[in-house]
Homo-oligomer: A and B are copies of this chain.
């Protein structure tokens, strides 16, 4: 029997997902005393809290402590690597990245090479240049560290773990398709519902923004890049060498005429003038008895990835989605003509944080 080990945890990011994760971690540390989970580092882009002697930071009050004025700015990332890779002998450490920062993502290889495992909801390391993807996994192997990123696609839904299991056990993924954005799901389920007329496009975007279902700047959802990043990750896990999330066709829902608009507010003000474009899309689908949805797909055999609008029969599971649910279908050699389907909330602080917490448990069970 193993004796009680200590795992040191460093957290970067204390926003929506970060706060939910910290609360889940606090409960976890109480519920599962073995191994001992010690929070030794926490930072946001402006502040940081840690002790040179790795004195545990109280998890429940970590965010409050971080918000007090006396704590300092975060050290440069190489310093954090040094700190987390120098934990007391005999113990291991894990970096939790709950930001969407490209800089933090690019530092993963440094952490991993030094034996610090990485768990994250941040898509950037896995969906930017292929070189970074390769560097991340090579570094993990070299450092004997683990890297888990369930919440980088479909929040806490078991999407990444499922495709990894399929591939690792020797199945062949032939096609992946689905709705990968909670925001897009919500927008199209309201704009083009399977029953009833739905609202004007700009009004639905406005409503979604007010409810906090879009990014502060809705164009960050409407440009399709978030979905393209998720498809990049899945395509790579299925075996395709996708160079970047802009190396395949991605349909943007930002009207060409509004591409050079400055602020988000100005964009929202001008959007109603282009409702006609989206009405046309909706009507064209209705004429075929269908509804329009924003989907992504990977055709592994053909090496093709694409993201954009498609028409679906009203009875199709993709058309019948509710709220801001995601749906992801995996077609594989073993599963044949009926795909393996995962469906459910693909956004939200608690469920996204759950993916991170679940990954942390997987890492902890292996170290």
Contacts and interface: CB of A to CB of B under 8 A. Distances in A.
A363 to B, nearest CB: 10
Given A317-B317, A343-B343, A338 B358 contact: no
Contacts of A322: 338
Contact of A344 (B156, B335, B365): B335
A342 B345 contact: no
Interface residues of A, number: 47
Interface in A323-338: 323, 325, 334-338
A87 B335 CA distance: 36
A31 interface: yes
Given A161-B161, A165-B158, A345 B354 contact: no
B341 A345 contact: no
Contacts of A350: 334
A63 to B, nearest CB: 18
A1 interface: yes
B323 A361 contact: no
A286 interface: no
Interface stretch (A90-98, A166-174, A221-229): A166-174
Copies of this chain present in the complex amount to 2
A341 B338 contact: no
A137 to B, nearest CB: 14
Contacts of A161: 158, 161
Interface string A4-18: 000000000000000
B335 A169 contact: no
Nearest to A321: B338
24 contacts: A1-B144, A24-B169, A27-B170, A28-B170, A31-B170, A156-B334, A158-B161, A158-B342, A168-B358, A169-B361, A170-B354, A171-B354, A315-B320, A317-B317, A322-B338, A325-B338, A334-B348, A334-B351, A335-B351, A340-B342, A341-B341, A342-B343, A343-B343, A365-B366
Given A2-B144, A165-B354, 4 more contacts: A27-B170, A334-B354, A335-B345, A338-B344
